[in-house]
Structure 1
Amino acid sequence: MYIVREIFYLQFGRFKEAKALVDEAHSLGLMKMPEGGKILTDFTGEGYRLIFEGPYKTLADFEADLAREMNAEAWKIWYEKFKPLVRHSEREILKQIS
């Protein structure tokens, strides 16, 4: 089992806009989280993060979901609105061992 975290560090003061866009993406069916997936935000540490966390049985499953999402034209349009709210991002891929 793998846990994938997409971590977006937001511009200061832009959390509400980013959250509204995430809500929009959900309502349009653009972000299909795997079963057990979560959307998190920071409570401590470096501020203003949105973290999309999802479990995958294999890395191939993750790659298939990523390709499907990123190749959708509606997602590309949505992502252009989301990008200006982000300072930088990173991806963590963790292997669950127990």
Structure 2
Amino acid sequence: MILIRNIFQLKFGKAREAKEIWNEGKNTVEGFTKMNYRVLFDLVGDSYTMVLEVTADNLSAFEQQMQSNVGTDAWRNWYQKFIPLCESGRREIFTIVEENKL
């Protein structure tokens, strides 16, 4: 199992708008309903940081998830609204070695 962490450094004051656009996207982009994900916003540290964490069985499964999202008009239209809110972004991918869920 892997964890993919997409980290977006939002422009100053754009967190609320990013949350609104995320909510719009998760309801219109069908691929979002087929993923295990969490959305996080900073509490401390770098201000205006949004993180989209996704889990997948392996890199191949993640790549298939991405292709089913990125290839759609709905995703492209949503992404064009989201991108202007971002200063930068990066992706981190981890192997999940152990997990304890209470």
TM-score under structure 2 length normalisation: 0.88
Give the C-alpha shift of residue 27 in structure 1: 1.8
TM-score under structure 1 length normalisation: 0.91
**Does the CA-based 8 Å contact 1:33-1:54 persist in structure 2?**
no
TM-superposition CA deviations, 1:25-67 (whole Å, max 9, x none): 11213433623x2111111111111111111111101000011
Gaps of 5+ in 1: none
- Map 1:34-53 to 2 at 5 A: 34-35=35-36, 37-53=37-53
Runs of 4+ in 1 over 2 A off after TM superposition: 29-35
Structure whose residues are more often helix by fraction: 2
- Map 1:8-47 to 2 at 5 A: 8-30=8-30, 31-32=32-33, 34-35=35-36, 37-47=37-47
* Number of equivalenced pairs: 97
Q: Report the RMSD for the aligned CA atoms in angstroms.
A: 1.2
